[in-house]
Structure 1
Amino acid sequence: MSVLQFYGASGNNSVKCSLISLERFQVELSGFDDGLINILKTIPSRYYNPQTRIWSFLIKDYELLLQKLEQLKPRIIVEQIPQFALKCIKATNQEVNIEFDKLDPVLAATLLPFQIDGLKFGIDKKGRCLIGDEMGLGKTFQALAIANYYKEDWPLLIITTSTMKTQWEETIVTYLPSIPILQVQYMITAKDYIGESKILIVSYDMMSRCCEKISQRNFGVMIVDESHTLKSFKSKCFLSAAKVASKAKRVILLSGTPALSRPSELYTQLSLLDKSFFGSFYNYSQRYCDAKITKFGRDCNGHSNLQELEVILAKKFMIRRTKEQVMKSIPNKKQEVITLDTKLNELTEEDRKCLNILFQEYQMQKGVNKHAALLTFFGETAKIKIPAICSYIKPLLSRKDKFLIFAHHKVMLNAVENLIKLANIKYIRIDGNTTTDQRKYFIKKFQTDDKYLCAVLSITATNAGISLTAAKLVLFAELHWNPSILSQAEARAHRIGQEETVLIQYLLCPGTADDAIWPMLQEKQRTLSAVGLCRDSFETVAIKKHKSSSDNDVLSQSAITNYLTPTKKPKLESDVFDDGLDEILCKSVIEYNDSKDAELLDDGLDDLFCEIEF
């Protein structure tokens, strides 16, 4: 192979520069150019990787390289590192000495060493930061510590989901006893008087509906819990939060999953912390979202320069630690994929034909139609998997060990619940119908009463805000579109307070929508991992096969025959979806969490699906 073939075709070449760390940047070449290669060889700190064909240099040599590349213009086009990125890495961090007398003594005594580091980070960023620690590491304590440190700037506004209201109130009362309870208020209606509250807790829905009233209160410190909820800059939630944040001196964002699937979801959160840093979403998307012009408009769902974005996040905006990094005492978790025998061969010829049609339609479709076809396939998969799931769970009920089982569709939740009832086992179920008081009662029962062995949980209603460390086994009867949501669900058991290794098992059925969703999750993990927002990898998870005998089958395949009926594709607007239903799912979760009619929903999603015309 010639040198020319090795690099690619010659011609009008480009050079793209991007950061790979605080000390080094890399140079990617679009093609071979002898003069360009000779210049790169003259830079003292050069390093060439023959596997990736990428050059890298010390930051101190960046200006020197640009000067030497000037002589190759216009033959060589240079894509430079943005000025905001260079300015960011050149900024020096000041040594932070925490004045602990500014903190409530009870809260100060509670903070673990890594949480104190989180407080230092927040102080270094002048109270405008994103605490992105993995789920279960006490982001609430760190946020309250930063807010308490800047108490002179209060009143304090806490924006959260309605299901987390109780947890915030209890934490404040317990760990900030210096704040009179009468000065801690939860806004219930738009008519509530909020003029004298030192701490106001509002739901996302209430903030959207009462933005003007809340903004007039001029909150100096603002905590945004589950800040990834604001991922869409067109949403009313984000626009309201941005208006309030523009007046706040300190803004603290909390999210164990800052980006659910792509870099574009980070921009809204980062703009709350520093609106002018990137200049505009256009600049951000061009650099980090691989923005392209399509026949439908500008597509910003891609990703580019992720190493550079990770460097900027860590330097300017976000602190993120994993359990393995900061809590050596937390036992490990072990992930497994269990492939179940769905006995598809026992279906009638008509039902098998219907299943094949759904799968083929999904494979053939593109764009929005592909998403719609997958949604239909996903719904049918829940019904198909019921016998295999119940067959797998039945032996577990006789072991007397506590476990969690997550599902998405109501038909699956009901089937599992009925199985447990028949076994005469005590259990809890939490889904969209469960009120805040009921959640609290159920969680306490599961954690403290040895007779309660199983927790039947909706993925979308329980992936955050609860601790179920009494369980050592976590089962997923169904998947979710986002790996971050699955990680959050895993963390209900694998978190501070867990004393034993947690086994996570994903129960997949070949020949169903699991075959399409699992690779999608792996691809999203790769993207999030590149920007430092995901440590797990489903590509390395051990795979085990489970084959149930006919004697142990709880339900026969004939019992679900009537579920498999041909359906029409859902009629959905093209602007609803972005990369596979993430937007519509997120929207539904917000509606469940914040709706005053939340008790009418099942798990925050099924009602939405039922509204789709087939």
Structure 2
Amino acid sequence: MSPSGQSKSPSGQRSSTRKRSNAQSQRRRQHQDETGIIPILARTVRTIESSAERGKVSPPNRVKFRVVAALVREERARIKTDKALTDAERTKELTRLDGIATIMAKAAARDTSLIQLLTDTAPLTTQQQEAKRAMLLEAGAELSPEDLIVVTEAPARDEEKHVVPQSVKQYQMANPFLAPDFSSVTASKSSTAGRLANWELIEPLFRSFEMGSGGGAASMDLPDARSLAAAGGKELMRHQARFIESARAGHRTYLLADEPGLGKTAQALLAAEASGSYPIVVVVPNVVKVNWAREVEKWTPQRSATVVHGDGDDIDAFADVVIVNYEVLDRHVAWLSRRGFKGMVVDEAHFIKNKDSQRSKNVLALSKSIRAVTPNALFVALTGTPLINQIEDFRMIWQYLGWIDDKKPLSALMRKLEETELNPGDPGFFSAARGAVIDMGIVRRKKVDVAADIPARRIADIPVELDGEAGRSIHEAEQALIARLVERYRRLTAARPDTSPDEAIRMVAAAELEESRGGGSDGTNVFAMVRRIGQAKAVPAADYTVNLARNVGKVVFFAKHIDVMDAAEQFFKKAGLKTVSIRGEQTTKARTLALDAFTNDPEVSVAVCSLTAAGVGINLQVASNVVLAELSWTNAEQTQAIDRVHRIGQELPVTAWRIIAAGTIDGRISELIDSKAGLAARALDGEEFEAAEGSVQLEALVSLLKDSVVE
């Protein structure tokens, strides 16, 4: 029959049937291709790729990218071991995953910050767990128990690490009940109420700082200072007094981001005094915890301080100020959380920027426990700059301060945002939002802003503890030196009883010094001691310099010995800082190239200089911060080094950070150097100043012996 009306031949019918069957099979395959987790992953990663093409990937998309990377690995492992799949099906599924991996690689090439997320195998964060669960539910997958339950609290810490020092037990017995203090708390609106409740706000808040608001300083308005007077007749700088006045007026949360050298430690301590926020806990890097105790004694002498070392066997749990370093906080966070603090300070707050680190979790846990008992407690975060590497670094600091949680602004900040009467879709929102966050307590002053308040040149001592075997060895050597001096003193006074104690002490010290110059004794002479102390200070001094450089830019690092310079340079290299070196054995050309690089290359952060070779004849005024890792035997040598930075044309006040080994002869030497500076001032400028006589080495030995034999 004709095509228009006749029936098809058997062969034609079979062909038609095959076509219908192939079409149905293709539709089934397409349907199957759209089921399961792989299509979800593909759609998600294409969205992220589009975001990367437009610029930097947003934090929510970074969360999804991390989850996709994890799920791709899990799905690949499942497919390889799934015995229900044929070889062809397995190859096909793996090819689809390879396609997703290719798109992820393209996105990471556009936004290189994603690269680390491709291979990150750390446990998923709370946000990432929630995103994973959402993807699995959308795919219709059966969820395992660990995927069903999203952990919102940090995993329980190893209880064996927790310690409760004996002094703490005594304190707890003396104070069995710590009632919450709600006396200063005003009623607050829920953070979820209001017109902004359904808006995503964290990302816009970060963007408001990235946009910079026309370059305006991120610093809240502070009241005028009523007085510059501090305890013990000391005087504050005006910018310090204004900050303290703000705390006295009732403000309670601060991101204090003044540049180094502007006295953040003093401001935090005096803010606690002005607001009555005692007892207070201070969390600090190990290298500065001894300095914090010293600053407590200097600025608030009426308050007691205790420093937590190791398991805290020697602490005073009744102290007003408890100082603990990040490295041992995990052992003490349990009892610290129950101590009843009314304030908390976190120094070098950028140390907690990593949400997944244990120290960040410890700091947040401690801050939450304090806020629960004392909602109006004082919280201060100290850092040299509010923008460390990226805006995202704000997140954990803001959480510590109680301004935001994982997902949204909390009540105080939300009220400020509501008061702007704007939302993220309005043109003026970013500027207004930035102002709202700044008013929560961001304080940022630079040296140039307050130059009139600051001395043109000053020396700030940073005491550091010498830990480990090197520290123990130095303390033992110093005790051996003292024992030898005391024995000589006793023999001399027994043989010559008519000799006065002061005369005998000076005679013994002079004999010891003469023997030391000849290379005598057993390696515990004063010269060997100072050399060993300098070697032990190399890493702590370099560690302090790294933090300084990351906060203020270029820093000059001075040391006397080559091995100290070498150790410091190795530390800087591991920390990712680019350095130049100025040493005695350099040619003129090499030194010139190093100086030019330090002056002109913005990537060069530190100039590592020999105290003797670089102390004269060079210009380093591109920096305004100096670290003196080793002490000189003369004030003149120290002054010459500082003057390489403090030169004509230097527009900023210069601060020399002198690293002192706490509890050793180093501290005595620094005091004697300062007394020699006073002698020079008296001789040249006519100033009245009581100064030690004789060499610094001799006076150091006299001081050691006098402390041991004179009651």
Larger strand proportion of the pair? 1
Structure with higher Rg: it is: 2
TM-score class normalised by the smaller sequence: 0.3 to 0.5
Higher helix share: 2
TM-score (normalised: structure 1): 0.38
* Greater RCO (Cα-Cα under 8 Å, separation 6 or more): 1
Superposition TM-score, scaled by structure 2 size: 0.34
